Amino acid sequence: MKLEFLLDNLYLQQNKPKKLKQMKLIKHVPAALLAFLFLFGGLTFFFHFIEEPAMTGKPLDFMKLFGGTGYMTVIKVLEVIGGLLIIFPAQRAKAILILGPIAVNILLFEIYIAGAVGVGAVLVLLVLIQAYFDQAKFKALL
């Protein structure tokens, strides 16, 4: 009985670091996805990596309204800044404070103006997951 207990503890101690490494790796996945999506979206605005699909109806009217004001330029600069900050674990809370409202606005645009949910729901979910992982950094704000 005692030998089984010792063997079980030995097994758990040997496998514990492997599971901890996996959990640490999993905590970086939402940040990596957010960094990719926001950096790609922000930089595409300036450098046109891909051709944007043609808009019609309400989305086109919305973009025409904000396009000439420089509003989208400011948003895209913030997306790039947030995308860069979220790469660094020490800066992720700041990145979430920048990217969170942008993700919510993208989702609201999709729901109320475009009429279909798209990547905005994924962005909001990833921001919420990352905020949960970094919740200790936000306790000072509460």
Tell me the pLDDT tens digit for each residue of 39-48: 999 999 999 9
Interatomic CA distance for residues 86 and 84, integer angstroms: 6
Interatomic CA distance for residues 36 and 112, integer angstroms: 26
Least reliable range by pLDDT among 9-13, 44-48, 56-60? 9-13
Least reliable range by pLDDT among 53-62, 74-83, 87-96? 53-62
Nearest alpha carbon to residue 110 among 97, 100, 122, 99? 122
- Average pLDDT for 48-54: 88
Look over the chain and give the mean of its residue pLDDT values, rounded to a whole number.
88
Assigned token pair, 110: 């999709």
Query: pTM here?
Result: 0.83
